[in-house]
Structure 1
Amino acid sequence: MHITTEIRGTAATLTPRGDIDYQHLDQLRATVQQLPTSVTDVSWDLRDAPFVDVAGLHLLSTPSDPRRGTSLANLQPQHRRLLTIACELFPDADFDRYLSGSGAHQAA
C-alpha cells in the first residue's frame, strides 16, 4: 500500500492507495502517528481505496490525540455500507459522524 500525505497548515490529507485491511492496518496507524503535532485535522481521502474491511473501523476507533479531528472524504458505496452496518451494530461508537460530516462527500 502507498499512502500519500499532504499537509497544509494544521490539516493533513492522507490518501491510501489499495485495500484497507488488516494487512495494512499497522502502516495506516503509523502514518497518523508520524504526523507533526501541529496537525489538528486529519482527513482520509478514500478515492483510491476500493475496499475497506473491519480494519478501517479499527483505524477510525484507534485512540489518537484528543485535539486531532478525523474525517473521511470520497466515500465509495462499499465504504458507506460498511459504516452504515457499523452504526447499526455499534450505535455508541459514533461511526455516524463519518457519514454525516461535511467531508463525507461521495466520489464523483
Structure 2
Amino acid sequence: MNITTEIYGTAATLTPRGDIDFQHLDLLRATLHQLPPTVVHVAWDLRDTPFVDVAALHLLSTPGSPQRATSLANLQPQHRRLLNIACKLFPDADFDRYLNGPGAQQAV
C-alpha cells in the first residue's frame, strides 16, 4: 500500500492506493497519527482503493489527538455497501455521515 498525504493549512487529504484491510490498518493509522496537530480536518480519498473491509470502519473510528473532522471522497459501490451495512448494524456509530458528506460522491 502507498498513501499520498497532501496538507493544505488545517486540512489534509490522504489517498491510499490499494485495499484497506487489517493487513494495512496499522500503516493507515500511523499515517493519520503523523499528521501535524494543526490539521483538524482529514479527508480520505478512496479513488484508488478498490476494496475495503471492516478495517475501514475501525480506521474511521480511530480516536485522534487532536480531534479531527473526518470525511470520505470518491466512494465506490463496494465502499457504499459496507457503510450501508455498518449503518444498519451500528446505528449509533454515525457512519451515515460518510455516505451523505459533501465529498462522498461516487468515483468516476
Query: Under TM normalisation by the shorter chain, which class is it?
Result: over 0.9
Quote the offset at 1:3 in angstroms.
0.2
Tell whether 2:32 aligns with 1:32.
yes
- Superimposed CA distance per residue, residues 7-55 of structure 1 (whole angstroms, 9 cap, x where no aligned partner): 0111100000000000000000000000000101100000000000000
Question: What is the TM-score normalised by the length of structure 2?
Answer: 0.97
Counterpart amino acid of residue 72 in structure 1: L
Q: Residue in 2 aligned with 1:60? A: 60
Q: Which runs of 5+ in 1 are unaligned?
A: none
For the aligned residue pairs, the C-alpha RMSD in angstroms reads 0.8
Q: Residue in 2 aligned with 1:73? A: 73
Q: Which runs of 5+ in 2 are unaligned?
A: none
What CA distance in whole angstroms lies between the structure 2 residues aligned with 1:104 and 1:64?
21
Identity of aligned residues (%): 79
Quote the offset at 1:66 in angstroms.
5.4
Structure 1 runs (4+) deviating above 2 angstroms are none
SS at match of 1:42: strand
Question: What is the TM-score normalised by the length of structure 1?
Answer: 0.97
SS at match of 2:47: coil
Tell whether 2:12 aligns with 1:12.
yes
